[in-house]
Structure 1
Amino acid sequence: MDPNLLYWKAHGESFISRLRIWVDLLDPSSLLCSDAEIQKARVLIGEGDNLSIKDKHAPILSLSSVHADSGEVLPLVFRPPAFLPISAPMVIGSFLPHARVTPALFWQFLLQTYNAGFNYANRNSSAEQGKKMSLKQLLMTGGSVAYVTCAGALPQIIISRLGVRSVPLQTFFRSLLPIPLSAALAAFNVFTVRNEESENGIQVFDSNGNPVGVSKAAGAKAVRDTALSRAALFGTSAAAPSLLVWLLQRTRLFQRNSRLVGPIRLLSALYALGLMIPVTFSLFPQLGMIKRESLEEHLQAAAADGHLFYHRGL
C-alpha cells in the first residue's frame, strides 16, 4: 500500500482528524515546493513516527502533492492546495447576475473544465497504470463539460430568452435554482469523468495493506462518495449567499442600502467555498472501507476482517 494511504489509515479514521489534516494540506505555500522536495517528502513519509522535527512537514507535502496510486507528482494546478485559489474566481464569476448569456456560459465553461480536470487528476487510477485515456473517456469528459456548462448557465438563458422581468421569478432563477443545480452538476461531473472506476474496478487491499484484487463495487462506492462530497461543496457554496442575503434584506440597513447586497453575496460565496472545501474533503476517508457482503464473490474470501480498503480519490 502506498505510504500516503498508510498515513491516512493511521491518522484519518475520524472526521475530526481528517479535517485537521485537510486544513494543513490546503495551505497554498506547499505549491512553492520543488518536485525534488516533494519526492523527498514521499520517501520520508514511509518512516512514520521516526520523522525528525524538521521533517514533520513531509507528510503534508506528500499527501498534498503526490498521487497515491501512481506515485507521481500531481500537476500544480490540480493539487488540492490550488483548488481554492483557482476555483474561487470561477465560482464567483458563475454566481454573478450577468446581463447576457455569453458571460454566464464563459464562467461556467471555465469552472466545469477545471472541475473535470481536478476530478480526473485526483481519481483512483490503480487499474489504469501504463494506459492512456481512452477515446470513450475523452469523449465522455468533453461531453460532460459541454453539458454542465449549458446546464449551469440555464437560469441566465431562461431569463434572457424568455425576457423574465418579474422580481419573484428573477429571484427564483438567480438565487434558488442555482442551489440544487450546482449540487447536481458537480456530482454529475464526478460520475462522468470517473466512470471507468465503476466499469473497470479499482484495487482493494486487506488490513495489512496487501493488494488482493480489483473490485468494481469499490470503484462505484469511491465515485459515489466523491460525488456526494462535491455536491455538498458546491450546493452549500450556492446556498449560503442566498440565505445570508435573504436574512440581511430584512434589516433596515440593507433596505436603505440595496447596493450592499452584491458585494455581500460575493464575499459570502467566497467564504462559504473556503470553509466547505476542507469540510467536504473530510466527509469520507481517503482510504475507504467496503464490507465483505458488498464485494464481489471472488474477493469476499480475502476480507478476513470483514472488510477491504481502497483509495477513494478526491
Structure 2
Amino acid sequence: MESNNIMQEKLNNSLPLFNGVSKKFDDSTFWGRFQNFRDVTDPSTLFCSKAQLEQSQKLLEDFKKGLVDPTVSNLQLWNAKKNVDAIIHPDTGKSIFLPFRMSAFLPINVVICAGLILPNASIGTTIFWQWVNQSYNIALNHANRNASNQMTNKQILNAYLSAVGISCSLAVGLGYAVDKLSNSYIKNPNVIKGLKMMVPFTAVTSAGIANVLIMRRNETVNGIDVRDKDGNVYGKSKVAGREAVYKVAFSRAATSFPALLLPNIVMTLFEKLKFVQNYPKVKMPLNLAVIGVIFNTSLPAAIAMFPQESVISVDNLEPEFKNLKDKNGNPITELIYNKGL
C-alpha cells in the first residue's frame, strides 16, 4: 500500500501542473502530440462508467470556477481530462458511442486486421472482411468528424456504399491480378508472397482514403467552423475544411501501413522458431499480439502527425477572413479549426 502511494506521488509530481487549458504534453511537437493521443486512444478509458465520466466533467467544471477541493491531486485532474477527451466529442459536447471512440480502435482493429490478412482467403472471405473494415471505418469517421457540418442520412448511405464498393473491388481485383501473375509470369514464391502481402494493404489504404474523402465531403464543400484562440467563431471556411479532410486521410493511410505490412514480416521471423514450428496453433494468437503491439504505437503516431486543433493563417483562407480584428481591435492573423480524428 505504501509503495503504491509512493508511485502515485511520483507520477503526480512528474506531470505538468494542470491549468485547465494546456495539454498535458507540448502539442506543438510530434512527440508531445503522440503522448497526448496515447491518452485519447488508451483502451482503458473504455471502462470509464457514466458515473465516473460525470464525476470527471464536474471536477473539470469546478476547477474552472475555482471550486476544486484542495485535497484533489494534480494526477486526479489530468485523469479527469483524459476521460473527457477520450469520450466527449469536442464539437457536440456529447458522448461518442463506445465502439466508435478512438480508444476502441485498437482492440476492434486487431480482430479486423487478423481477418484481412488471413492466408489463402476465398473471395467471399476477402469481401466479408473488407466490408466489416469499411463499415467500421465509416462509423468511426462519422463519430469523430468535425461536427460543425452535418450530413444527411442519404449522404451517409452514399458514402458508405461508395467506400465498401471501392474496398471490395480493389481487394478482389488485386487478388485476382496477383493470382494471374503467379500462374503465368512470376514463378519466384517469395515475390508472389510479397505481392499477396501488398493486396490487403493497398486495398485498405486506398479505400480508407476514399472513405474519409467521401464521408467528410460536406466539410470540403460547405466548410467548417474557424475560430480565434478565445473560441469566437468567425464563420465556415472551405479551405480549412479541405485541409482538415486531407490531413485525416493521410493519417488513415499512415495507420494502415505498419498494421498490415509489419505483422507478416514479423510472423515470417517467428515461424522460423522451433517452438512455433512444433506448436503451429500459437501462430494466430501470436499474430494478434503482434498486430496489437504495432497498433498501440502506429495509431497515436499517425494521428499525431497533425494537431487536432490546427492553426491556419488567414492569408490562406477566403477573403472574408482577411481583415478580422479581435476584441481589443488587433488584427487576427491566425484562426483555429478542429480537424477531427
1:175 and 1:242 in contact (8 A); partners too: yes
Render the CA deviation track for 1:178-215: whole Å, top value 9, x for unaligned. 44443222222111111111111111111222111111
1:1-314 equivalent positions in 2, closer than 5 A = 7-8=22-23, 12-46=27-61, 47=63, 52-53=72-73, 54-128=76-150, 133-158=152-177, 164=183, 166=187, 167-168=189-190, 170-244=192-266, 248=269, 257=277, 267-302=289-324, 304-314=331-341
Aligned-partner Cα distance in 1 for 2:301–2:85: 17
Aligned-partner Cα distance in 1 for 2:48–2:138: 25
- AA aligned to 2:171 is G
Which residues of structure 2 form unaligned runs of 5+? Answer: 1-19, 326-330
Go from structure 1 to structure 2 and tell me whether the alpha carbon gap of 1:211 and 1:9 turns closer, same or farther (over 3 Å shift): farther
Moved more, 69-78 or 269-278: 269-278
Render the CA deviation track for 1:260-311: whole Å, top value 9, x for unaligned. 9965655433332222011112111110111122101101223734211001
The structural deviation recorded for 1:43 is 4.4
Which residues of structure 1 form unaligned runs of 5+? Answer: none
Moved more, 265-274 or 61-70: 265-274
The structural deviation recorded for 1:244 is 3.7
Task: Provide the TM-score with structure 2 as the length reference.
Answer: 0.77
Aligned pair count reads 304
Go from structure 1 to structure 2 and tell me whether the alpha carbon gap of 1:290 and 1:152 turns closer, same or farther (over 3 Å shift): farther
1:152 and 1:185 in contact (8 A); partners too: no
Aligned-partner Cα distance in 2 for 1:205–1:6: 16
The structural deviation recorded for 1:239 is 2.4
- AA aligned to 1:311 is N
Aligned-partner Cα distance in 1 for 2:212–2:131: 16
- AA aligned to 1:123 is R
2:89 and 2:95 in contact (8 A); partners too: yes
Task: Provide the TM-score with structure 1 as the length reference.
Answer: 0.84
Aligned to 1:96, the other structure's residue is in SS state: coil
User: Does 1 or 2 have the higher relative contact order (CA < 8 Å, sep 6+)?
Assistant: 1
1:116 and 1:145 in contact (8 A); partners too: no
The structural deviation recorded for 1:14 is 2.2
Go from structure 1 to structure 2 and tell me whether the alpha carbon gap of 1:86 and 1:253 turns closer, same or farther (over 3 Å shift): closer
Aligned-partner Cα distance in 2 for 1:184–1:139: 17
Alignment RMSD (CA, Å): 3.2
The structural deviation recorded for 1:18 is 1.8
- AA aligned to 2:31 is I
Aligned-partner Cα distance in 1 for 2:172–2:260: 14
Aligned-partner Cα distance in 2 for 1:190–1:88: 21
Aligned-partner Cα distance in 1 for 2:38–2:252: 17
1:22 and 1:281 in contact (8 A); partners too: yes
2:112 and 2:133 in contact (8 A); partners too: yes
2:25 and 2:32 in contact (8 A); partners too: no
Aligned-partner Cα distance in 1 for 2:26–2:165: 39
1:126 and 1:202 in contact (8 A); partners too: yes
Aligned-partner Cα distance in 2 for 1:62–1:302: 32
Aligned-partner Cα distance in 2 for 1:234–1:136: 25
Moved more, 53-62 or 192-201: 53-62
1:45 and 1:62 in contact (8 A); partners too: no
Render the CA deviation track for 1:16-64: whole Å, top value 9, x for unaligned. 2222222223232322223343244334335369663244311001100
1:69 and 1:124 in contact (8 A); partners too: yes
Moved more, 145-154 or 12-21: 145-154
Aligned-partner Cα distance in 1 for 2:293–2:42: 16
- AA aligned to 2:243 is K
